Structures are given as C-alpha cells and as structure tokens.
Structure 1
Amino acid sequence: MTHTENTIKTSFRTSLGDISATVLGTGPIALLWHGMFVDGESWGGTIERLAPHRTLVVIDGPGYGDSAPLTRLSSIEECAEVGAQIIDHLAPAGSVDWVGGAWGGHVGMTLAALSPDLIRSLVAVGSPVEPIDPVFRIKLIIANQILARFGPIAHLRHVIHDAQLIPAHAKLRPMTDVIDRALTRVHRESIAKTVTSFIINRADATHRLPRIAAPTLLITGDDRGEWTPAEMRAAAAEIPDARSLVIAGARTLVAVEQPDALAEAIVAFWSELDAQ
C-alpha cells in the first residue's frame, strides 16, 4: 500500500487468533478481505481510489500477513464468525460495506446470508459459489502436501502465478512479487492449512444466495475459468438485489491485475448506494 497519511496499524482478537488490519480513509466503514495466496498488500493499487469514499479496514486473513498463523483446520463459516467479531469491534450494533477477493468474497457472502444486519453492502470479486472441480481438487491436495513439507518452492510459486494471473501478467515481477511476498512471510504449515480449509474443503454455497439481502456487486475477470461470466451472472440472478460486472484482462487476482478498473467499479457501486 502506498497510502500513508493517517494510516493506523491495529489488530483484532478473534476465535482464529489476532487478525492484523490497516485502517485508513474517511467515511463509512468498509472491510476488505483478500483472496488466497496473498495478503492485505494485494489491495494496494485500489487504496488511493477507495480511501476518499470509505474508512478502509484492510485485513490480513487468518494465517496470512501479520495475522496469527492458522494452527488448525477451519472453514468459510468460521471465517464469517471472525468477520462478525471484527465488525463488532468496528461498529457495535452497526454494519459495514464488505469487499472480498475470492476467499474474502466467499466469507462475505456467507456472513451476508447468516448475519444480514452486519453487511450494508457486498462486493465479491472472483468468488465462485460452487466447490472446486474434483480433478483439480486432487491435484491441489497433492500440491498442498508438497507446500506443507517444503514450503513455497519455485515450482509451486509459478503454478500459483499461473492460477492467479493471466499469461500476460504471470511473468511481471510487480504482480508476482505480491504473491511471493505473501507466501514467504508466513509458515508453510499455516499456508497449507488455509488451502485445505478454504479451497479444498470449500462447500457449495449456492443455497445461501437467495438469503443475501444486502445490495451486492459480483465481479469476475474475463479469464477466470473457475467462475466464468455466465456462471457469475447465474449466481447474481439468485441474489435479490445484485448486479454483476466482468473486468477484462484479469484472472483471479483482479485487485492486482486491474486495480483501477476494480476501484472504479466499487466506487460507482458505493456512490449508487450513497445516493439512495
């Protein structure tokens, strides 16, 4: 993140350990929860555009960044409980605008369905609601066993680069470094537990979509094979108050690949809500 004026570093005590957060900006509170294999730094390119519109609480998810390592298996549902605990610290008896990338989008959708009073609006970026493909699941289990034993070796990092970034970006150091820094900052066993908990064991969340009452914006990249534009639009049709957007030139890590386009879409969505 490049925004330094009036930036506060803090942490929240939760059921999954202390969760680190960077707080900056002005206005109503927005909580930003990143995707897998990265940490809060991955929002860096969007911060300058978002901070004038909201007080941003940019967290490092459980097991990442400066947050406590993940020492046991968990679930998206437990992450939603963590989100609720953080919101209770931030806005007692209030609600926040939730912005989640992939993993963070899954958490936000779950929290919005289970505790609708806590979510004022929801943005989910590249967050497929179905479980992962069975064949890919087997490959990921094998790769995760290597990760747990040897850490983020070069081959695994390159595989993650290819999964998170479109081919034109997978060789660009400014983008791959965001992934590599996140992977090398934390213990390998903690990363492996996050992969098992939040990707390998991810359950189908389609049944929760009709229960999301908050105004919702679903976003996907045009090269997000696990969540195509058609699949995203089908999910949006199940949410009572949802709209959807495809951002070109991005795969999974939209906040890193197309930060300006993502920030513009989020600000437009917030502005629409603020005007109502």
Structure 2
Amino acid sequence: MTTTETVAGITLHRSKGEGTLLVLLHGIGSNAESWAPLMAVLPPALDVIAWDAPGYGTSAPVAPESPTPSDYAAALLRVLDALGHARVRLMGHSLGSLFAGRFAALHPDRVERLALLSPALGYGVTAGPLPANVQSRIDDLTALGPQDFAARRAARLVFDAENRPKVVEGVRRSMAAVNPPGYAQAVHALGAGDLLADAPRLTMPTLVATGLEDVVTPPDNARRLHAALPNPLRLAELPAAGHAMPQEFPREMAAILAETLLA
C-alpha cells in the first residue's frame, strides 16, 4: 500500500516497510508516479520513498530561479533529517541521477549505496545562457502547454512505443502533470549540473544502468559515468529498453537491484 505525506515541504509517496529505506528520485519530465511499476515489484519489507521533486506536484519549489543540483540536494537533506534517517539507499533516474549523485557527493556519509539509472550527465553551465537544446525544453513547454508537450514527447522515451501503449500512457500522464515553473527550474539545474565531475567523490558502492535503445540519455553516458566511479557496482545494460527503463522493465530492474543496491 502506497501512502502520501508531506515532509519538509516535499510530497513523498511511500510504501512503508520495516527494512532498509530506499529513496527514489524521478526524471525531469516526470513525477513520483513513474516509479509505481517498480515499487509494485520490490520486496514488501523495504521502506520505499519516491519524491515529487521540488516544484513538481504539490512540492514546494527551491528558492533560486535558476538553481543547481545542490539546491535539490539540500531539499533532500532536509527531508531525510526530518524523517530521522541517517543513511539510505538512494536511486535516481535521468535528471534524478544528477540530483542523487550531487547529494551523494556532498553527503557521502548519508548514502549507503547508490544507483544511477539512465543518467543525465548535465552540461556544466553555471553562468550565461543555457545551451540551445536545453533552453528548447522550456520554450517548447511554454509554447505547447503540458498536455501537448507530453503528447509530443512521451513516445520518444519508450523503445518500441507502438507495442507498449500502457508504458507510453504512463510516461505521458506524468509528463502532462509537470508544473511549468518547477520544470523550468529543473532545466536550469540540468544545465548547471556535472555528474562526471561529481563521480570521483561517489565513494559508496554505485550501480549504473542504461537501456541500450535509450535515445535521450544514450548508453555511452552510462559507460562514461561507470568508468569514472571509484567504487562501481555492475554496469547493467538492458536490451530493448529505452529511456523509461524502470517503467518498461520493472521486474528486470528489481532483480538487478536485489543483486546490487539492495544486497
């Protein structure tokens, strides 16, 4: 059973067990709902939390208009402190990997194990305008509105989308629910982030996973990140998986996590 609670201004979707706390951070065009297929097949004893990131759903936004991943890491720290958890297993998907990596680099004592799925590496732009391909995300959402934005983009996240309509619909539904101001802040954080620069500081055992058909964050992103880690776990490459890997193959992902992140 999944419940919803608000902690330190952040909405959390929780499947509460008595075991290890696993924290899940979603991607840029998504929300906590994107983790539902995976949460449904994880061991019921786990205590699992998926956040609606700051500025998503009913979660309070971060303060800066143009934030960096450190601002989202600070929000996560406030949540964990309020919950009273000193150490967690942490997993991010896409932009969530950028946030998870930043948190783990800043607070390595708080992360027992780390998983970075379909990792967005960031662009390392801390001053000046965003790269055109990054700024276009904000411009497209502004021009189209969330519903049409999601309708145009959702299928690109799913490999063999025509034969996976339920997965595409789940991706579309989450994307259509984005709040434009919160999304714009997240885009700025994507532009400012640099996961490869953080990688040498990720001293905890770290899993990296990618879909071999991912055209959003290609497999080479994951390979470069895995090679830069000081304490890598498995580099998991899922054939026939696109960017929405946890939604496309939740049981396969759960099995990989059982052998690595949750071992």
TM-score by length of 2: 0.86
Give 1:23-172 correspondences, 5 Å limit. Answer: 23-26=14-17, 27-68=19-60, 72-92=65-85, 94-131=86-123, 137-154=131-148, 156-166=149-159, 168-169=160-161, 172=164
Q: Is the 8 A contact 2:150 2:173 kept in 1?
A: no
Give 1:176-255 correspondences, 5 Å limit. Answer: 176-195=168-187, 197-199=188-190, 201-225=191-215, 227-243=217-233, 244-255=235-246
Q: How far is 1:240 from its partner?
A: 1.8
Q: How far is 1:48 from its partner?
A: 2.5
Tell me how far apart the structure 2 counterparts of residues 139 and 24 of structure 1 sit (CA, whole Å): 37
Q: How far is 1:69 from its partner?
A: 5.1
Q: Is the 8 A contact 1:222 1:249 kept in 2?
A: yes
Structure 1 residues 60 and 91 mapped into 2: Cα distance closer, same or farther (>3 Å)? same
Counterpart of 1:164 in structure 2: which amino acid?
A: L
Q: Is the 8 A contact 1:53 1:267 kept in 2?
A: no
What secondary structure, in the 3-state scheme, does the structure 2 residue paired with 1:49 have? coil
Q: Is the 8 A contact 1:223 1:251 kept in 2?
A: yes
Q: How far is 1:219 from its partner?
A: 0.5
Which consecutive unaligned segments of at least 5 residues does structure 1 have?
A: none
Tell me whether 1:21 sits opposite 2:12 in the alignment: yes
Pick from 2, 6, 24: which aligns with 1:11? 6
Q: Is the 8 A contact 1:128 1:227 kept in 2?
A: yes
Q: How far is 1:110 from its partner?
A: 0.9
Tell me how far apart the structure 1 counterparts of residues 113 and 206 of structure 2 sit (CA, whole Å): 6
Q: How far is 1:36 from its partner?
A: 1.4
What secondary structure, in the 3-state scheme, does the structure 2 residue paired with 1:151 have? helix
Provide the alpha-carbon RMSD of the alignment.
2.6
Aligned length: 256
Q: How far is 1:225 from its partner?
A: 3.8
Q: How far is 1:160 from its partner?
A: 1.9
What secondary structure, in the 3-state scheme, does the structure 2 residue paired with 1:50 have? coil
Q: Deviations over 1:144-168 (max 9, x none)?
A: 22412541253x32442244222x1
Tell me how far apart the structure 1 counterparts of residues 261 and 176 of structure 2 sit (CA, whole Å): 34
Tell me how far apart the structure 2 counterparts of residues 231 and 183 of structure 1 sit (CA, whole Å): 23
Q: How far is 1:37 from its partner?
A: 0.9
TM-score by length of 1: 0.82
Counterpart of 2:210 in structure 1: which amino acid?
A: T
What secondary structure, in the 3-state scheme, does the structure 1 residue paired with 2:4 have? strand
Q: How far is 1:8 from its partner?
A: 3.0
Q: Is the 8 A contact 2:241 2:248 kept in 1?
A: yes
Q: How far is 1:242 from its partner?
A: 0.7
Q: Deviations over 1:109-155 (max 9, x none)?
A: 111111101111101101132529xxx9424423422412541253x
Q: How far is 1:235 from its partner?
A: 1.9
Structure 1 residues 188 and 112 mapped into 2: Cα distance closer, same or farther (>3 Å)? closer
Comparing 31-40 and 171-180, the one that deviates more: 171-180
Q: Is the 8 A contact 2:217 2:243 kept in 1?
A: no
